[in-house]
Structure 1
């Protein structure tokens, strides 16, 4: 599993015999003032991640004197979580007294097309693809910590921020349908899946999505596959949605844990024009209707997808009408959509 959600991860780190992050050279300095190694260890995590594995690896970049003549300390260095803590496999690095360090990180470690610019303080990821969902969804996160003093050799706190939007679905019966049951067999979402992410201190995480989704007015065109390049598709048959009937006016989560989660590129509804659809059947007195599609054009809705948000779309289904509502939460449980990693 390659994504994290709901609860924060705190990784408390200290210098240990397995050396991790470091300074500017692979030679041990002669002066005692520069013998403090930068290393990772993870004695314990402060909170469990519900239903998914903890972070297993990320990539780190680092420079000192970034505002003058940047000197590279790390360059897309992979940091892996092992039984002994957070480790890397190349040479030991050391703090340099009198130097000021800037650190950057991207999770997971295998993200392509990453460019970190130490002089303007940006992280840019081009052609990011969020096509995979469920068990293979990728939880893209970024972190920075700037102005760290080499004199103090401190614990360096990296606060990771979710760069994507998490989406789930629920369904319920409309009021007045006593004795009815509802079966949702499919949920489909057409949206932009590729884009360019830029992180900066002043603007945070921003996305440019490409190509834009141009949804036709003919609902049959969409359902029948003309827009499959933009399609996220979840079914009860594949085990991504629950298969049990719904017979309550209270919302019931449709996504099966770990299989039906969706992490999407943040985007403006009026620009990319996503389309949401649900396929369902109603039963009453032993009679079940044929399965029906209901489509919703999100271009007219005010709720855009923003980094770190967790959206839940709820379908309310009646005999003659279906409508949806959306709630937005932070993608977290007590940590403002962030995951903390400390290293020293």
Structure 2
């Protein structure tokens, strides 16, 4: 049970509505000044093999602060990497620390990150919160190569809601602070197939190696606040790019490349958004019937798309017959179908 501390001006109740926006827990109806959060508008993600953010014991982190509208004093922090945990038994998001409340005459600022830092596999990642006027969240030394299997990939999502000015009690958000999570990384796949039309029914391609290099995998990220509270930020790449001899993204197979196509590095490889000026895709292959010599061809990805942008999915198709045909990628917003049901209805950003 949460405790209310009457001797403190700052107490806490944080909750994410998992029902329709009109549903409010009875306790909240009795105290409309308690700070709470509305249902995230993005509920699906790729992390630790999960496809749904709503998972028992799952958590994200919230930072928050307020500044006085009449004084030029230092910001007062309310939340510092607070764990917001999903409980499948109650189908609610909540936390266990003391309640915090809205007070008139202040402006409030909130930042959120999924997954919670404690869930990250890489121990080198550091999260910093700077109490600038509206707060700033930073991620240092994030490495997309932390874990080489799908179950260990880390999909970063960020949300913010700043400049909530509480002049009177009528300004208190009726349904809590809205959070619209956005992906910070780029999702990439390379899908290849043998072309049966030209190769025939038995002749196929064997991929000896497919390499991806010239790409940086470590970076620092800083949030940026814009007027409409759309989550935004920028990456600064650090370290050296992957080299031609690196093994991180290297595919080979003794099995023929199927005619229906396969995603050779997997469907869910994630990268820090970046310029592709030096990004190279190299493939070595031979035919299983006739012409056994190995062929090598390289593609500069910047010839097909200049950059990888956050929150976008890039699918590079290639077909091999007598030659290899590498195509301009299909680029889509990285999103899933909306989760709509009788108990809740959310839009996916």
TM-score surpassing 0.5? yes
* Match 2:259 to one of 230, 247, 255: 247
Between the two structures, name the one with larger relative contact order (CA 8 Å, sep ≥ 6). 1
Q: Does 1:178 align with 2:193?
A: no
List alignment gaps of at least 5 residues for structure 2: 1-16, 339-345
- 1:133-152 paired onto structure 2 within 5 Å: 133=148, 134-150=150-166, 151=169, 152=172
- How big is the shift at 1:74? 0.4
Pair 45,157 (structure 1): closer, same or farther in 2 beyond 3 Å: closer
- How big is the shift at 1:232? 2.5
- How big is the shift at 1:16? 3.5
Retained in 2: the 8 A contact 1:40–1:87? no
**1:7 corresponds to:** none
CA distance in 2, matches of 1:304, 1:292: 28
Retained in 2: the 8 A contact 1:192–1:212? yes
Retained in 1: the 8 A contact 2:36–2:177? no
CA distance in 2, matches of 1:142, 1:62: 14
Count of aligned residue pairs for this structure pair = 291
CA distance in 2, matches of 1:233, 1:18: 55
SS at 1:176 equivalent: helix
TM-score (norm 2): 0.69
- How big is the shift at 1:48? 6.7
Q: Does 1:54 align with 2:40?
A: no
- 1:318-329 paired onto structure 2 within 5 Å: 318-329=321-332
**2:225 corresponds to:** 201
Pair 253,321 (structure 1): closer, same or farther in 2 beyond 3 Å: closer
- How big is the shift at 1:108? 0.9
Q: Does 1:156 align with 2:158?
A: no
Retained in 2: the 8 A contact 1:268–1:305? yes
- How big is the shift at 1:290? 6.4
Give the root-mean-square deviation of aligned CA atoms: 3.8
**2:129 corresponds to:** 116
Quick check: 131-140 or 92-101, which moved more? 92-101
- How big is the shift at 1:279? 4.5
* Match 1:295 to one of 298, 323, 341: 298
**1:267 corresponds to:** 274
CA distance in 2, matches of 1:194, 1:311: 19
Retained in 2: the 8 A contact 1:173–1:317? yes
Pair 108,82 (structure 1): closer, same or farther in 2 beyond 3 Å: same
List alignment gaps of at least 5 residues for structure 1: 1-9, 20-31, 216-221, 238-242
**2:309 corresponds to:** 306
CA distance in 1, matches of 2:151, 2:275: 26
**2:8 corresponds to:** none
Q: Does 1:77 align with 2:82?
A: yes
CA distance in 2, matches of 1:234, 1:201: 40
Q: Does 1:276 align with 2:264?
A: no
**1:38 corresponds to:** 35
Retained in 1: the 8 A contact 2:84–2:94? yes
CA distance in 1, matches of 2:100, 2:182: 26
